[in-house]
Chain A
């Protein structure tokens, strides 16, 4: 554990040093480049269902399940849930195909604690093929790779119904190949690895802030394929893994057999269709997670339509999550989680590398009558300043 902490501090220090060299700098045969991103966000609950849910005073809105980022009634204006600072440093041995990259992210939701999110080595097999080994983001969704980079996305926070899972990173290897297939630009990525998450923010949303969890995704294997043609983009994803969880200190008793350490196989299917003309943009994404032998199946989807007016972007989004009860396996059809969020976002590009956004979310809890924890409905106002450097 001490070695892990020491290694983490060393990586953070090296990343900070490399990130200083925003313009490339050479030292002893190694080329250092640095970059970073910043989001300063503030949010206020405008209304919703007033109730005490687990250990929170609601109305509550979960903006990022993986980090346990929740806006609630506890303060008039909350700055923590969506604020973050990331620094990335890359060291490349000059005239060689090897490089190493580290990305450190400090989150407001963790009181600014810096964590190593990405740490990987890269080998350029050819002009269009890379092999990477280390810790990376699990590419389940279109925006997974840059879910912390506010400037690269149109929202103040990602639609939580789609982008809300217990695991977002993995340790392992991947191979990426870029090619052109006729009129289509194609990017293929295959990956394999595993991930252990202690005290996932995701499970604190469902079991209370003091609850503890241990999540394992073993034998992760899968890939994604992106196809781009002019203004149209399509992305297909398949990832499978064995998964198990143990939850302790839960506010309410944990009776779900899938939270008691049993290993279940899961198969993740995801597809995205995006349109991006000069003035109009549309985003759509669909997800199914199937667990053979389990008593529920996950469904999530989102759709967004936006219009650019010079430096302005106006975007309307609807996202939905629904847990499907497998009645034949004994599941309660009235005990399933379901919610929908409608959001309206206005973005203004301050310059080529920064923006400000304001967003209103209106979330409806559509869970079955036996579903718990029932956070209820919520209306949230968020504002954000994003910058990359």
Chain B
């Protein structure tokens, strides 16, 4: 019993660290005209500070599910903040009506499909998950 528990913890730790170690990128639809975003621009879009893209389009940021390791890794690498700090930040905006949070999707696959289908959508993915139908505009790198 105890041995199985140790094995489970080991597998979880290894998978978590490998997920967190993977290179992450921010992607958009190739037709939206944006070729590159700065870190500040990505922060503005995902934290609801400024969603007007330089092309005039309104960015539609996509968020992975609340408990996903990819989401945690994305915000940690982008802002240096933990998910509880990010959630506290969003609580401040949601309950004051000052900004709306990113649209939540169920998986990286759904996020990529929305980016392919919608010129305004902007998502974050592991590099291994992206296809040639999306354009990388910011690289977060690996931890």
Contact = CB atoms under 8 A, between A and B. Distances in A.
B21 interface: no
A151 B97 CA distance: 17
A128 B51 contact: yes
Interface string A183-209: 101010100000000000000000000
A179 interface: yes
Interface string B58-96: 110000001100000000000011111001110110111
A122 B97 contact: yes
Nearest to B88: A152
A180 B84 CA distance: 26
A176 to B, nearest CB: 6
Contacts of B44: 180, 185
Given A187-B49, A349-B82, A351-B84, A178 B99 contact: yes
A278 B77 CA distance: 12
A152 B92 contact: yes
Contacts of B67: 352
B52 interface: yes
Nearest to B103: A24
Interface residues of B, number: 28
Interface in A5-37: 23-24, 35, 37
Contacts of A189: 98
Contacts of A180: 40, 44, 49-50
Residue among B40, B89, B94 having the largest count of chain A Cβ atoms under 10 Å: B94
Contact of B49 (A148, A178, A388): A178
Contacts of A132: 97
Contact of A352 (B59, B80, B84, B98): B84
B96 A145 contact: yes
Interface in A260-308: 277-278
Interface in A133-181: 136-137, 145-146, 148-149, 151-152, 176, 178-180
A176 B96 CA distance: 12
Among A137, A277, A352, residue most surrounded by chain B Cβ atoms (within 10 Å): A352
B97 A136 contact: yes
A35 B84 CA distance: 16
B87 to A, nearest CB: 5
A138 to B, nearest CB: 12
A37 B95 contact: yes
A118 interface: yes
B49 A352 contact: no
Contacts of A278: 80-81
A149 B87 contact: no
B95 A145 contact: yes
B140 to A, nearest CB: 16
A146 B92 contact: yes
A189 B66 CA distance: 30
Contacts of A67: none
Interface residues of A, number: 42
A146 B49 contact: no
A357 to B, nearest CB: 12
Given A179-B50, A185-B44, A228-B49, A311 B84 contact: yes
A31 to B, nearest CB: 11
A113 to B, nearest CB: 20
Given A132-B97, A145-B98, A187-B49, A352 B92 contact: no
A146 B91 contact: yes
Given A37-B95, A178-B99, A185-B49, 8 more contacts: A128-B50, A178-B51, A185-B40, A187-B98, A228-B49, A352-B82, A353-B84, A353-B87
Interface of B: 40, 44, 48-52, 58-59, 66-67, 80-84, 87-89, 91-92, 94-99, 104
Interface of A: 23-24, 35, 37, 86, 88, 101, 103, 118, 120, 122, 126-128, 130, 132, 136-137, 145-146, 148-149, 151-152, 176, 178-180, 183, 185, 187, 189, 228, 277-278, 311, 349, 351-353, 355, 388
Those 8 A-B pairs whose CB atoms lie nearest each other, nearest first = A145-B96, A127-B58, A152-B91, A349-B84, A352-B83, A185-B49, A278-B80, A127-B52
28 contacts: A23-B104, A103-B95, A120-B97, A126-B52, A127-B58, A128-B50, A128-B51, A132-B97, A137-B96, A145-B98, A146-B92, A146-B95, A149-B95, A151-B88, A152-B89, A152-B95, A178-B50, A180-B44, A183-B40, A185-B49, A185-B50, A228-B49, A278-B80, A311-B84, A352-B67, A352-B82, A352-B87, A355-B84
